[in-house]
Structure 1
Amino acid sequence: MSKDWRAKIELRQGDLIDADVDAIVNAANNDLMLGGGVAGAIRVKGGPSIQQECNEIGPIALGEAAITGAGRLPARHVIHAASMRLGESTSEANLRAATRNSLRRADENSLKSIAFPAIGTGIAGFPIERCAQVMLDEVRAHLGGPTTLEHVDFVLFDHRSLEVFDRVLAGMKDLR
């Protein structure tokens, strides 16, 4: 694998719901209920159509991802990455699968750009360092194969999370 996968990744601090990309990724529960955290912000700014679409789709299996429209958000779609059950924690296996399946939904819909939060690190309590390792590993593997994605953003809520993702990305080796 060449090093060009790194050129497709951008890490930045900001508000995910303001990302102007083909799809933002919601750190979702498997019932696809837009409650608090990232999901709550998506519900409030995006409007009721997103939850209505989720109600028609959900529930989905843990580790799966579903795609909806984005309502009034700048993005065209929301990909709901189910890394946890409502009220429970995110596991590494579910985070890995939810990230992988989010990337697959992007390809299935011929999307060119996607923006992720640090899935599972808020209300679901997953450690930020391990989150960065798992998510960046999945993105690196995905970008190494055939994909429609040209740009993968990680929009991180605070400076500490950005520093962790920066450090993890800098330490990653290319796959052979």
Structure 2
Amino acid sequence: ETTFLLRCFRKNCCKNSTCGCFQCFTREFSGQTGSVHPVLSPSLGVYRMQMGQLTLEVSSGDITKETCDVIINSSNQNFNLQAGVSKAILDNAGPTVLLECAQIVKSPGYMPCSMIMTSGGQLPSSNIIHIIGQNDAAKIKEMVQGVLKLCEENKFRSVAFPALGTGLCWEQHWDDMKGSILKRVPLTAGSQEYNDVLADVTKNGLSLNIIQIERIQNTTLWQSYQLLKKQMEVKNNHTNNEKLLYHGTGAKSIDLINSKGFNRSYAGMHGAMYGNGSYFAVDPAYSAGGYAKPDNKGHKRMYQARVLVGDYTQGRSGIIAPPDKSGNAADQFDSVTDRPNNPSMFIVFHDIQAYPEYLITFT
């Protein structure tokens, strides 16, 4: 599979005998030193830069053909992602690598971690470092630093990264879509992902009898949401645009929300005190209480959603879009709220402005 690659090559050890070259690079990567040379392009599509004793090279290519000491596989929390570049790596490495991953994860005393290392299997590289994929820039930087530290500890002299955090079709930790657009994935109780969702739901003392937590994988909705997120970051000149919020609903709306998102015609049935949009609560207790309608079994449903609230202002009854900023019709607020200084709810007016990430079924 062709992708953009970042290769790091270290030369002979640096003059400081107590410090390895990947460690030197990590300091420069963190902005602590400044021996950075201009970017050169020795051949078409190849860009090279010297940083101390390290050479950085960016080009397009097939990471499964790399001859570096180690390549990086951006995977999921179980390190068995069978999609995209990860699938290409695992397919070419052969079954022994996937077996190694499974043995590590299932080994006694294993603690969930952000990366593991296996052999390269049938690949030209001698080792593979499998990481949990990230899209957040700060987390990617932290992950790269962790990889370089592991490379230094193992005395590797070269490492190849695929382009990290650039995919729009799905999250790195998603299960294989197998050609479908929508997939509901039940989370394993006690897994890190399950516990993360549960911790946010119960952080204010809410007690629920959880029946199931499902991850909603919808490639069309996710791609649209991510594109809007990037556009909002450019428009607002900051990245503090997204919040994890909650939306309670009835069983009849679930299939529509999973497939089409929070369309205001069926997701905004909670009144219109602050505008005719889709409503999301800061406190899950609010959504779980009056708006998560029980079915004939007594089961209630609530979404933990990613919502692009962006720059927001006071809402009011009857509005169908956020107000303009300072009277400028070309520059609107992104959402409205009940209390701008201490919001308890947010209202959005675009269907792709919220993504139904987790469906929580409870009593």
Which category of TM-score, normalised to the shorter sequence, fits these structures? 0.5 to 0.7
RMSD over equivalenced CA pairs, Å: 2.4
Find out whether 1:38 has 2:85 as its counterpart: yes
Partner of residue 153 from structure 2, selected from 96, 108, 112: 108
> Partners of 1:53 and 1:108 in 2: how far apart?
20
SS at match of 1:68: strand
SS at match of 1:14: strand
Q: TM-score, normalised by structure 1?
A: 0.61
SS at match of 1:97: helix
Answer whether contact 1:83 1:94 (CA < 8 A) is retained.
Answer: no
Answer whether contact 1:66 1:105 (CA < 8 A) is retained.
Answer: no
SS at match of 1:8: strand
How many Å apart are 1:23 and its aligned residue?
0.4
Answer whether contact 1:83 1:91 (CA < 8 A) is retained.
Answer: no
What residue number does 2:35 align with? 2
1:39–1:103: structure 2 CA closer, same or farther, 3 Å change rule? same
Larger Rg: 2
Cα displacement string for residues 78-133 of structure 1 (whole angstroms, at most 9, x for unaligned residues):
0112135xxxxx33343222222111111111100000011132233788x9xxxx
SS at match of 1:107: helix
What residue number does 2:67 align with? 20
What residue number does 1:68 align with? 118
Map 1:58-97 → 2, pairs under 5 A = 58=105, 60-61=112-113, 64-84=114-134, 90-97=135-142
More strand, by proportion: 2
> Partners of 1:50 and 1:24 in 2: how far apart?
13
More helix, by proportion: 1
Letter in 2 for 1:22: D
Q: TM-score, normalised by structure 2?
A: 0.31
Q: Which runs of 5+ in 1 are unaligned?
A: 85-89, 130-176
How many Å apart are 1:33 and its aligned residue?
1.1
How many Å apart are 1:68 and its aligned residue?
0.7
Find out whether 1:55 has 2:105 as its counterpart: no
Identity %: 30
SS at match of 2:129: strand
Map 1:133-144 → 2, pairs under 5 A = none
> Partners of 1:117 and 1:36 in 2: how far apart?
14
> Partners of 1:94 and 1:66 in 2: how far apart?
17
> Partners of 1:11 and 1:96 in 2: how far apart?
17
How many Å apart are 1:52 and its aligned residue?
0.9
Letter in 1 for 2:57: E
Cα displacement string for residues 13-48 of structure 1 (whole angstroms, at most 9, x for unaligned residues):
111111110000011212111311111001111101
